[in-house]
């Protein structure tokens, strides 16, 4: 096993870029007393190398229309009657999020340059481990492996909030941890249950994605399992009413933590719905869709309303995340290609625009050590470049056409309307109004109006480093807004295939008791990863 | 070179100008900023003129569509595409021409502002977005422009961001617009869900092929077309400041005057009218919504006109006048007179831009003073401004042979056909318009100067860079009317030009409105009379060097009405009470009660229960090793006992 | 008269239990340590007694090793006590409740 | 004669062991334990293993308990105060438990071995040579390991005591 | 009473009678010998050569007021001086002083306890000596006493290791813990044909270690740190006076004597003398002769004590510890290994 793993690490494989951050984190253990600047630069260089790995990988395996790549599978944990495999693969659904992760990592480090004052090596270490966790969760094709990565994400984030956070960081960190843990434990039970059921039917336990997709379960089983998965993911998203950890976590987390949290971690929840919860339990998902839609729509309106009355910049942005993720959930539950495309894009969009907003809130915090609206006002005069980026990002978040937010929201709403959820869509669309209300309030109270606070009079404008952190984000916002096609196209085949198999299964009968579907040739149950012809393996050793 | 293939350049040039001015140019490089700021819309105007010339000479009436690139694919596929047809041609002409003139004017007006470069960047951005809006070949591009102009409106209203009020007004404008946009979006979803495309041409073709698909029942008793048009109309109501979403426009006067002229009079606010006209095929299939459009338009027209009577801020008067005139246009669109609506749109663009720029010249001269009560007798100091302003006033009042006369007449004629009541409202509005506009002229330019000595000392005519555009617009305000239908004749160039735009749907042909000459004469004379009465009343009250006394006397005679009008029927206050505050209260309740009290409360109760359990349990863990040893010992004893006995 | 082996055994049990009481009731760490040594000693006595009873020297061997281990244990244990005392200025186990909550 | 000696030693061991447990002064406890151990050494002789007795005296009383005494003096531990923190539950629990255990074990042992008679002492059983033979053949490995363990214990004990001092020094330096 | 018991009592009496004389004689020697060395007179008024000075000293001890500090821990304070006598009053039991005696038809061993574990018992009992010092220091409730006690216990524990290892090495050639065997082995063998196989010739290194450790064990100069009068007044017996003080003196000198006896037994052939076969005599004569020879050797050692005392200065405490742990202990181990190798290879 270890030899196979090592070979994968050395080869041009998914495994390499999943574990590269972890490997690169090892020297940090011995750099505790190294000068801070060295650690910072080390982290930045590592993150750039990681980004390079990701981009070159994506380019190398791009086949013109999409990509489906899998690392060679090998056995990871072998027990009698139970084989857990190490299986990772990437397709159009995970690709955007993977690239987003790679993009955000250096930006996060740049954004933390000043804000983090203690234990830099630990911070970079946490960030790198977190990256591995995220990337791993995004590419894991064995549910056991997925769960492991899922939990790996949790701990560094917990540390980041708990160590480098604000005043109530412990409360926030514990809240974050308990919320997430509670959900994921239910998911673990569901995963084990599925593995066991598979074992009952096939003779040996399996947690492989493609194996478990073959399970046809009775509606009652599906409903419970779906509920367990959905709860774990809904907490992560977070959906109303499981969202209260988010504002606290964001407010207390350091800038980098917030960016990663909002930018990527939350997406794992929606990704989980798309990748696991819906394809596994189509009937239950269909049955429970109205409830999820209600929660999604309530989240949109609720998040927006609550964001509006916040007195803390960061909390406002945090609540806006709830609203934005509500859109994503709406799109995912709508089960419509347009909506799914929009949802996937919106995940990226949210990562970019909210990430940028959190970064800038952090920059303000670095300068003024406060995040309260009452301490700001009229900053546009003092720090014009900041104002430009801030307004730009806020507008992207509002969903202004020609910026990224619009594309995602538009496709989501269009798709869900098309899918027949008209009134949900209409209510959700009203979130567009509220988005303008709260984000413009944010801009207004921060940038416009007379300069009332003397302390603000001599704030320095953005430094080159800060611009370097923000510029890529804003460039992507504009690019996606103006020409979203290159960003939508890669994931379309994968989404379409998943949707097709979802619909096929939904159209099929509901099993009376757990059965194992025999995947006949041509039956596209696991479209992206089963079809060997469509699959290309990365150049690892052949097992 | 085929100018028609350069359509994409028309919006792109201003965008480029905005980008250059916004990012590359520095504040100190004023000349460069001017060159870029003027040059971009100027070039755009040239390209537009060339394209329009080529269009009207070689392919009049045709629809020219030009796809630039594919925006999205997959389940929803749409191109970024431009479309030139008579409707967009007229709009492009108006926008580029008036826009360019206002840009030129701004060089003088904004010359001393610190945000000069920023101003031109925003203005160019606006031009680009507006052109995108009018040139877009599908609803999506239109929506992009639609929101783009909204953004620029927000930015430009809040141009003086260091003051308290302008940013607030900008935010208000954006949010109110967003309410309309929300409906617009829903309309687009419905459209796409029904027709599977957002392309104007595609939708038109489908509807023409199968009108029943559009009239099929949809929701709440609306047909597809009804629902879509209602949604779109709500969008238009937001953008074009109609009841009940007009409240942002008067506040939007907080922006620089050229902005008011360009965005809040000539172009952006008329986008709603353009959109309704653009969707006329659907409106024709939804007569009940058309009626709604007409009624809302008429109501807005008279409502805003009454408010205009009692305003003292010169720009507020013009703002309410704009609202009123926009109502007029919607009245026209609602009664099916789409040509008249666009006609009035065009003429209004000229004379309202003229009026705003004129008022800007006055304000410029008065050192920023906008209250007409502190002006008076300015005609001696600002002769050119006075003359052109007067031309604009007469034009908007509907004085015969000026532009307003023809376009208003066309609208009233259309209204008469649908309903005499609407016509009557329109007529009264026309009278009120004449009245309050002349009031503004009299208060501003006649009588004695009521301002401070200092202001009197500084009074001066504006530079040529401002007065020349005034002159050109004044010419437009005079001659533009002749493009449309001229009463008592069959001359109707615009009508002919527009014919292809107005869809003719099988089974829904509008009955050809050919009224007799007598009726036409009656209608024309009625409108002339209304204008005359309005002007006369104004002269009687504010004229003859009475200054403010006449108005005060009338105000004293009807104090309640005056109070109501002066305070704009308290609509802002009502909205604040019934919408904003309750919503804020709900939001606060959501936060404080639902989030903190209920959800977190439940969480904390759970945590508390856990903690208490742990507290009880922890008495056993004293931390004292001896106690643990005793437990251990007890365990050993128990085990021992169990094993032995 | 030879002494019955059972007497040795019972004596050892009694010593062991006395040691147990000491280990459980004393607060002074060293006193507890002493009590534990007492218990160990009782065990040694038992072993020696059985060795005698069974006429097998293995018991003695075990006692030998137990003594040696006790020496090691005492060395390390006392070092720990010294360490604890240096840190906390007491070896009263009631006050050394690091495991508390 | 043997019985008399046994009784003397047994009573001495019991009494002194009670003193060990009951005396508040650690020095007296230690000294009582010395007595107990010496008495036990006597019992070892009675049980036919003078070697163990000598070892007990040499190792336990001569080294380990001296070490105890040394540490007690080093740390200057005074007698335990009859503090209010003493919990009656702990004391009575221990006493009752110990009595129960003693009773049960004694009963069991008595039942099992009341009739057992030890075989007569043989020269080989008593002789040191026999012990040595067994120790260096059968039990060589454990013997070596004990040596290792002791070495380790010495090193660790030194290290533990020293390290804490270093840390304490660092603290005081700060 | 059995003969054995009577024999044992007789032998013990014999031993004690001699041992108890050590203290007064040494008191005198300790004064006269250095005086001689330092070219002065020393006590010479009481009796011939001041010989009765010792008796006078004893009288002084006996008749001084028995004083107890008020804050002392009484029981232990009283116990400590008695414990000082424990090692010396017990250890001689395993020391042989002659060949087997044939008296009245019975074979009597000229040793009180003829045990397999002879040396082992000696060491075990000797190790108890430290209690006296520790308790004296602690019970006095005096910081000088305490310091002295701590020093003494640390010193004794430390040097016991080297001492024991040296003893072990000395036992190796005989292959027995029984000291009688050790003496016989030295008596019977010859080195290089002429030298008696005394331990001192076989393992001079071991003897050196033993000698140094012996000095340290008895707290004699240069290792008298526990009672270094310039630092600690008088160390652990600061608070003691009169007879109790005398007990400590007795303990010290008798310890010196007993350890000297052990040294003589292990390294100088014990009761034997080369060229003198004691078995040629009958009755108790060999025993008396053996005792005489042994005591002669003891006397030499005791003189060595005095000699060294006035020759070497006192060690510093760290030097003491370093010497014990870093020099003597390794040396004794080396010695043990060397001897073991020699024995196994049959050279001895």
Helix (H) or strand (E) holding A516: strand A515-516
pLDDT on residue E228: 67
Residue A85, phi then psi, degrees to nearest 5 = -105, 160
Residue B513 pLDDT class (50, 70, 90 cuts): low
pLDDT on residue B510: 55
Distance separating alpha carbons of residues B58 and B54, to the nearest angstrom: 6
Mean per-residue pLDDT of chain A: 86
Q: pLDDT tens across B578-610, in order?
A: 888 888 888 888 888 888 888 888 888 888 898
> Which residues of chain D have a pLDDT value below 50?
84, 174
Residue A540 pLDDT class (50, 70, 90 cuts): very low
Q: Among A449, A479, A488, A491, which would you mutate to test the B interface (most chain B Cβ atoms within 10 Å of its Cβ)?
A: A449
pLDDT on residue A531: 43
pLDDT on residue C100: 60
Question: Within 13 Å of residue A256, how many CA atoms lie on the same side as its CB?
Answer: 32
Question: Within 13 Å of residue B506, how many CA atoms lie on the same side as its CB?
Answer: 8
The answer, for B189 touching chain A at a CB cutoff of 8 Å, is: yes
Contacts of A533 (CB under 8 A, 6+ apart): none
Distance separating alpha carbons of residues D128 and E176, to the nearest angstrom: 9
pLDDT on residue E257: 87
Mean per-residue pLDDT of chain E: 81
Q: Among A242, A318, A437, A490, which would you mutate to test the B interface (most chain B Cβ atoms within 10 Å of its Cβ)?
A: A437
Distance separating alpha carbons of residues E96 and E290, to the nearest angstrom: 9
pLDDT on residue B542: 78
For residues E151 and D89, the answer to whether their CB atoms sit within 8 Å is: no
Q: Which of B178, B193, B595 sits opposite A433 (nearest CB)?
A: B178
Q: Among C19, C21, C24, which would you mutate to test the B interface (most chain B Cβ atoms within 10 Å of its Cβ)?
A: C24
3-state helix, strand, coil in chain A (%, to 5): 75, 5, 20
Name the percent of chain B lying above pLDDT 70: 97
pLDDT for B481 beyond 70: yes
The highest-confidence range among A134-143, E4-13, E319-328, by mean pLDDT, is: A134-143
Q: Which CATH architecture group holds C5-88?
A: Orthogonal Bundle (1.10)
The mean pLDDT value for E230-254 works out to 78
- Contact criterion met (CB < 8 Å) for D55 and C64: yes
Q: Which residue of B has its CA nearest to D87?
A: B627
A542: exposed, middle or buried (Cβ count in 10 Å: 0-12, 13-18, 19+): exposed
pLDDT on residue A49: 92
The mean pLDDT value for B214-239 works out to 86
Q: Which of C65, C75, C94 sits opposite D146 (nearest CB)?
A: C65
pLDDT for A533 beyond 70: no
Q: Among E93, E128, E164, E179, which would you mutate to test the D interface (most chain D Cβ atoms within 10 Å of its Cβ)?
A: E128
- Contact criterion met (CB < 8 Å) for D57 and E127: yes
Domain range enclosing D56: 1-79
CA distance E144 to chain D (A): 13
Q: Which residue of B has its CA nearest to D85?
A: B624
A69-70 and A536-537 beta bridge pairing: parallel
Cβ neighbours of B623 in C, within 8 Å: 97-101
Helix (H, G, I), strand (E, B) or coil at D116: coil
Q: pLDDT tens across E157-190, in order?
A: 788 888 888 888 888 888 788 888 888 877 777 7
Q: pLDDT tens across D69-99, in order?
A: 888 877 776 665 555 455 677 778 888 888 8
Mean per-residue pLDDT of chain B: 84
The mean pLDDT value for A309-336 works out to 90
Instruction: Count chain B–chain C contacts defined by CB atoms under 8 A.
Output: 32
Q: Which residue of B has its CA nearest to A485?
A: B72
B/e letters for A236-255, b = 16+ CB within 10 Å, e = fewer, are bbbbbbbbbbbbbbbbbbbb
- Domain locations along chain B: 162-507+514-571, 580-644
Residue E291 pLDDT class (50, 70, 90 cuts): confident
Helix (H, G, I), strand (E, B) or coil at A89: strand
CA angle at D111 for the pair D107 and D116, rounded to the nearest 5°: 130
pLDDT on residue A473: 92
CA distances from A163 to A47, A313, A333, B285 (A): 21, 21, 36, 64
- Contact criterion met (CB < 8 Å) for C5 and D117: yes
Q: Which of A33-37, A121-125, A172-176, A247-251 has the lowest mean pLDDT?
A: A33-37
Name the percent of chain B lying above pLDDT 90: 1
pLDDT for B274 beyond 60: yes
pLDDT for B58 beyond 70: yes
pLDDT for A231 beyond 50: yes
Distance separating alpha carbons of residues A406 and A415, to the nearest angstrom: 14
The mean pLDDT value for B126-153 works out to 89
pLDDT for B282 beyond 90: no
For residues C41 and D55, the answer to whether their CB atoms sit within 8 Å is: no
Q: pLDDT tens across A406-426, in order?
A: 989 999 999 998 888 888 898
pLDDT on residue A350: 92
Residue with tokens 């004469």: B521
Distance separating alpha carbons of residues A125 and A25, to the nearest angstrom: 5
- DSSP assignment of E233-301: TTGGGTT--HHHHHHHHHHHHHHHHHHHHHHHHHHS-TT-BTTB-GGGS-TTHHHHHHHHHHHHHHHHH
pLDDT for A523 beyond 80: no
The mean pLDDT value for B132-141 works out to 89
For residues A260 and A130, the answer to whether their CB atoms sit within 8 Å is: yes
For residues A327 and A428, the answer to whether their CB atoms sit within 8 Å is: yes
Residue A133 pLDDT class (50, 70, 90 cuts): very high
Sheet holding A89-90, edge to edge: A89-90, A69-70, A536-537
Q: Which residue of D has its CA nearest to B636?
A: D101
Residue A147 pLDDT class (50, 70, 90 cuts): very high
Q: pLDDT tens across E89-117, in order?
A: 888 888 888 777 777 777 777 777 777 77
B508: exposed, middle or buried (Cβ count in 10 Å: 0-12, 13-18, 19+): middle
CA distances from A373 to A118, A402, B162 (A): 27, 28, 16
The CATH number given to whatever domain includes residue D24 is: 1.20.120.1200
Residue A539 pLDDT class (50, 70, 90 cuts): very low
Q: Which of C3, C38, C78 sits opposite D20 (nearest CB)?
A: C38
- Contact criterion met (CB < 8 Å) for B143 and A401: yes
Q: Which residue of C has its CA nearest to B636?
A: C20
Cβ neighbours of B193 in A, within 8 Å: 417-418, 422
Q: pLDDT tens across A448-497, in order?
A: 888 888 888 888 888 888 999 999 999 999 999 888 888 888 888 888 88
Distance separating alpha carbons of residues B237 and A376, to the nearest angstrom: 35
Q: pLDDT tens across B67-82, in order?
A: 888 887 777 888 888 8
The mean pLDDT value for B493-507 works out to 76
pLDDT for C31 beyond 50: yes
Q: pLDDT tens across B417-435, in order?
A: 888 888 888 888 888 888 8
Q: Say what angle helices E242-267 and E143-171 make with each other, to 10 degrees.
A: 20
pLDDT for E232 beyond 70: yes
Residue with tokens 């992206």: A528
CA distances from A423 to A341, A416, A417, B40 (A): 21, 10, 8, 44
Q: Which of C25, C27, C100 sits opposite B622 (nearest CB)?
A: C100
- Higher-pLDDT residue of B509 and D144 is D144
E195-196 and E190-191 beta bridge pairing: antiparallel
Chains in touch with D (≥3 Cβ pairs < 8 A): B, C, E
pLDDT for E79 beyond 90: no
- DSSP assignment of B269-323: GGHHHHHHHHTHHHHHH-HHHHHHHHHHHHHHHHHHHHHHHT--BHHHHHHHHHH
Q: How many domains does chain D have?
A: 1
Structure tokens at B98: 């008036």
pLDDT on residue D83: 53
Q: Answer whether residue D131 is part of any domain.
A: no
pLDDT on residue A530: 43
Q: pLDDT tens across A272-295, in order?
A: 998 888 888 888 988 888 999 999
């Amino acid at each position: 096993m270890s030899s196979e793993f090592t070979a994968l690490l050395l080869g041009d494989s998914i495994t390499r870029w999943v574990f590269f951050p972890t490997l690169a984190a090892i020297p940090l253990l011995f750099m505790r007393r190294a000068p801070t600047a060295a650690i910072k630069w080390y982290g930045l260089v590592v993150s750039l190398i990681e980004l390079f790995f990701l981009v070159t990988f994506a380019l190398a395996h791009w086949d013109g229309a999409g990509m489906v790549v899998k690392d060679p599978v090998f056995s990871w944990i072998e027990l009698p009657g139970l084989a857990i495999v190490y299986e990772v693969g990437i397709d159009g659904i995970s690709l955007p999020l993977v690239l987003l992760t790679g993009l955000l990592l250096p930006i996060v480090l740049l954004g933390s340059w000043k804000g983090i004052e203690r234990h830099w090596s630990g911070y970079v270490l946490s960030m790198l481990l977190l990256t591995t966790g995220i990337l791993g969760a995004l590419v894991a094709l064995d549910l056991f492996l997925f769960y492991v990565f899922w939990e790996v994400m949790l701990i560094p984030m917990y540390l980041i909030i708990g160590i480098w956070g604000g005043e109530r960081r412990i409360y926030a960190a514990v809240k974050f941890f308990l919320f997430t843990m509670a959900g994921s434990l239910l998911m673990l039970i569901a995963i084990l249950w599925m593995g066991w059921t598979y074992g009952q039917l096939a003779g040996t336990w399996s947690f492989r994605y493609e194996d478990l997709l073959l399970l046809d379960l009775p509606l009652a089983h599906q409903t419970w399992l779906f509920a367990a998965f959905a709860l774990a993911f809904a907490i992560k998203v977070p959906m109303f009413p499981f969202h209260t950890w988010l504002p606290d976590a964001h407010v207390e987390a350091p800038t980098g933590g917030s960016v990663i949290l909002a930018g990527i971690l939350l997406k794992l929840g929606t990704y989980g719905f798309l990748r696991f919860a819906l394809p596994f339990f189509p009937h239950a998902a269909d049955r429970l869709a109205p409830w999820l839609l209600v929660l999604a729509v309530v989240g949109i309106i609720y998040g927006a309303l609550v964001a509006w009355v916040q007195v803390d910049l960061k909390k406002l942005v945090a609540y806006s995340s709830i609203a934005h993720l509500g859109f994503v959930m709406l799109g995912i539950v709508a089960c419509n290609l347009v909506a799914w495309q929009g949802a996937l894009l919106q995940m990226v969009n949210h990562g970019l625009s909210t990430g940028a907003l959190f970064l800038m809130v952090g920059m303000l915090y670095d300068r003024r050590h406060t995040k309260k609206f009452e301490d700001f006002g009229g900053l546009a005069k003092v720090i014009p470049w900041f104002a430009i980026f801030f307004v730009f990002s806020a507008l992207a978040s509002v969903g202004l056409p020609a910026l990224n937010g619009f594309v995602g929201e538009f496709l989501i709403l269009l798709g869900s309307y098309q899918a027949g959820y008209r009134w949900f869509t209409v209510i959700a669309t009203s979130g567009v109004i509220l988005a303008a209300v709260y984000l413009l309030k944010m801009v207004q109270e921060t940038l416009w109006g007379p300069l009332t606070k003397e302390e603000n009079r001599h704030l320095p404008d953005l430094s080159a480093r800060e611009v370097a952190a923000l510029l890529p984000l804003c460039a992507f916002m504009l690019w996606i807004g103006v020409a979203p096609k290159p960003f939508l196209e890669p994931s379309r085949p994968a989404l379409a295939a998943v949707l097709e198999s979802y619909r096929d299964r939904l159209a099929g009968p509901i099993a009376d008791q757990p059965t194992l579907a025999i995947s006949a040739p041509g039956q596209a149950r696991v479209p992206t990863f089963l079809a060997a012809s469509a699959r290309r393996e990365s150049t690892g050793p052949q097992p | 070179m085929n100018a028609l293939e350069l359509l994409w350049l028309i919006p792109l040039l201003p965008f480029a100008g905005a980008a250059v001015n916004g990012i590359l140019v520095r504040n100190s490089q004023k000349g460069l900023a001017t060159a870029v700021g003027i040059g971009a819309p100027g070039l755009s105007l040239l390209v537009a003129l060339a394209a329009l010339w080529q269009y009207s000479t070689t392919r009049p009436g045709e629809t020219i569509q030009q796809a630039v690139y594919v925006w999205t694919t997959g389940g929803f596929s749409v191109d970024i595409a431009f479309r030139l047809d008579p409707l967009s041609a007229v709009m492009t002409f108006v926008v580029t021409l008036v826009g360019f003139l206002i840009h030129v004017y701004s060089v003088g007006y904004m010359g001393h502002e610190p945000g000069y470069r920023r101003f031109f960047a925003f203005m160019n951005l606006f031009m680009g977005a507006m052109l995108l809006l009018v040139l877009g070949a599908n609803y999506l591009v239109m929506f992009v422009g639609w929101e783009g102009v909204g953004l620029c409106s927000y930015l430009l209203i809040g141009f003086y961001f260091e003051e308290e009020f302008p940013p607030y007004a900008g935010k208000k404008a954006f949010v109110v617009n967003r309410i309309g946009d929300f409906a617009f979006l829903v309309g687009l979803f419905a459209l796409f869900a029904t027709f599977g495309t957002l392309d104007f041409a595609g939708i038109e073709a489908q509807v023409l092929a199968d009108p029943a698909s559009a009239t099929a029942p949809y929701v709440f008793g609306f047909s597809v077309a009804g629902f879509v048009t209602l949604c779109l109309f709500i969008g238009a109501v937001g953008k074009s400041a109609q009841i009940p979403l007009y409240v942002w426009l008067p506040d939007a006067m907080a922006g620089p005057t050229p902005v008011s002229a360009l965005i809040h009079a000539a172009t952006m606010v008329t986008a709603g009218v353009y959109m309704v006209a653009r969707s006329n095929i659907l409106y024709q299939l939804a007569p009940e919504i058309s009626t709604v459009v007409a009624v809302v338009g008429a109501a807005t027209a008279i409502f805003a006109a009454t408010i205009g009577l009692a305003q003292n801020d010169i720009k507020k008067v013009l703002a309410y006048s704009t609202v009123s005139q926009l109502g007029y246009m919607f009245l026209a669109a609602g009664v099916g007179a789409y040509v008249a609506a666009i006609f009035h749109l065009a003429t209004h663009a000229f004379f309202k831009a003229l009026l705003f720029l004129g008022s800007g010249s006055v304000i410029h001269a008065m050192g920023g003073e906008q209250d007409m009560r502190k002006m008076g007798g300015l005609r001696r100091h600002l002769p050119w401004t006075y003359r052109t302003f007067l031309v604009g006033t007469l034009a908007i009042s509907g004085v015969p042979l000026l532009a307003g006369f023809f376009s208003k007449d066309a609208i009233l004629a259309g209204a008469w056909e649908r309903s005499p009541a609407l016509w009557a409202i329109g007529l009264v509005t026309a009278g009120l318009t004449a009245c309050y506009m002349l009031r503004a002229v009299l208060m501003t330019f006649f009588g004695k100067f009521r301002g401070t000595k200092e202001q009197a000392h500084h009074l001066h005519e504006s530079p040529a860079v401002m007065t020349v555009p005034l002159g050109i617009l004044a010419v437009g305000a005079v001659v533009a009317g002749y493009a449309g239908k001229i009463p008592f004749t069959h001359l109707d160039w615009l009508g002919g030009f527009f014919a292809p735009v107005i869809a003719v749907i099988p089974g829904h042909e509008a009955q050809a409105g050919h009224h007799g000459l007598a009726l036409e004469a009656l209608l024309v004379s009625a409108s002339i009379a209304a204008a005359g009465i309005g002007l006369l009343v104004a002269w009687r009250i504010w004229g003859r060097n009475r200054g403010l006394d006449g108005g005060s006397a009338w105000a004293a005679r009807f104090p309640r009405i005056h109070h109501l009008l002066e305070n704009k029927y308290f609509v802002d206050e009502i909205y604040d009470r019934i919408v904003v505050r309750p919503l804020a209260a709900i939001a606060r309740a959501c936060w404080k009660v639902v989030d903190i009290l209920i959800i977190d409360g439940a969480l904390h109760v759970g945590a508390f229960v856990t903690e208490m359990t742990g507290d009880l349990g922890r008495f056993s863990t004293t931390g004292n090793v001896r106690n643990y040893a005793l437990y251990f010992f007890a365990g050993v004893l128990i085990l021992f006992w169990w094993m032995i006995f | 008269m030879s002494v019955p082996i059972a007497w040795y055994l019972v004596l050892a049990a009694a010593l062991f239990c006395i040691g147990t009481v000491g280990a459980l009731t004393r607060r002074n760490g060293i006193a507890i340590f002493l009590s534990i040594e007492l218990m160990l000693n009782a065990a040694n006595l038992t072993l020696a007694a059985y060795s005698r009873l069974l006429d097998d020297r293995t018991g003695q061997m075990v006692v030998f090793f137990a003594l040696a281990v006790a020496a090691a244990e005492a060395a390390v244990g006392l070092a720990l006590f010294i360490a604890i005392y240096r840190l906390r200025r007491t070896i009263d186990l009631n006050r050394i409740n690091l495991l508390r909550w | 004669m043997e019985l008399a000696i046994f009784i003397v030693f047994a009573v001495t061991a019991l009494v002194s062991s009670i003193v060990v447990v009951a005396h508040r002064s650690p020095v007296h406890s230690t000294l009582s334990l010395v007595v107990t151990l010496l008495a036990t050494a006597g019992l070892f002789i009675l049980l036919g293993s003078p070697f163990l007795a000598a070892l007990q005296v040499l190792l336990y009383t001569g080294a380990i308990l001296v070490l105890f005494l040394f540490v007690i003096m080093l740390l200057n531990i005074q007698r335990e105060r009859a503090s209010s923190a003493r919990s009656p539950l702990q004391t009575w629990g221990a006493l009752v438990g110990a009595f129960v255990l003693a009773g049960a074990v004694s009963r069991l042992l008595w039942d099992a071995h009341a009739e057992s008679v030890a075989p007569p002492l043989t020269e080989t059983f008593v002789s040191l040579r026999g012990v040595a033979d067994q120790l260096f053949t059968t039990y060589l490995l454990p013997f070596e390991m004990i040596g290792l363990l002791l070495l380790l214990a010495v090193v660790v004990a030194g290290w533990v005591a020293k390290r804490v001092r270093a840390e304490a020094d660092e603290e005081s330096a700060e | 009473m059995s003969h054995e018991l009577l024999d044992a009592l007789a032998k013990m009496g014999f031993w004690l009678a001699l041992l108890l004389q050590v203290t007064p004689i040494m008191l005198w020697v300790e004064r006269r010998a250095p005086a001689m060395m330092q070219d002065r007179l020393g006590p010479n008024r009481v009796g011939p050569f001041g010989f009765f000075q010792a008796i006078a000293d004893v009288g002084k001890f006996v008749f001084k007021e028995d004083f107890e500090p008020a804050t002392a821990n009484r029981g232990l304070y009283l116990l400590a001086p008695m414990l000082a006598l424990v090692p010396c009053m017990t250890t001689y039991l395993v020391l042989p002083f002659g060949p087997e005696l044939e008296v009245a038809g019975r074979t009597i061993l000229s040793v009180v306890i003829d045990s397999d574990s002879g040396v082992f018992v000696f060491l075990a009992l000797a190790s108890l000596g430290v209690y006296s010092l520790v308790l004296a220091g602690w019970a006095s409730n005096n910081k000088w006493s305490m310091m002295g006690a701590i020093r003494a216990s640390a010193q004794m524990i430390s040097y016991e290791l080297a001492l024991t290892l040296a003893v072990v090495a000395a036992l190796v050639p005989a292959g027995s813990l029984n000291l009688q065997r050790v003496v016989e082995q030295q008596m019977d063998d010859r080195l290089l044909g002429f030298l008696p196989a005394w331990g001192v010739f076989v393992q001079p290194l071991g003897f050196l270690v033993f000698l140094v450790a012996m000095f340290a064990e008895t707290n004699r100069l240069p290792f008298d740190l526990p009672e270094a009068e310039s630092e600690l007044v008088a160390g652990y017996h600061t608070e003691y006076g009169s007879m109790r003080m005398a007990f400590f003196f007795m303990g010290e000198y008798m310890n010196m004597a007993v350890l000297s006896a052990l040294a003589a037994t292990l390294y100088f052939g014990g009761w034997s003398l080369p060229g003198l076969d004691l078995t040629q005599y009958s009755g108790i004569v060999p025993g008396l002769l053996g005792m005489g020879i042994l005591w002669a050797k003891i006397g030499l050692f005791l003189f060595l004590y005095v000699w060294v005392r006035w020759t070497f200065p006192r060690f510093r405490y760290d030097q003491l510890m370093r010497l014990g742990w870093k020099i003597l202990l390794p040396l004794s181990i080396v010695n043990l290994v060397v001897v073991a190798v020699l024995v196994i290879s049959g050279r001895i």
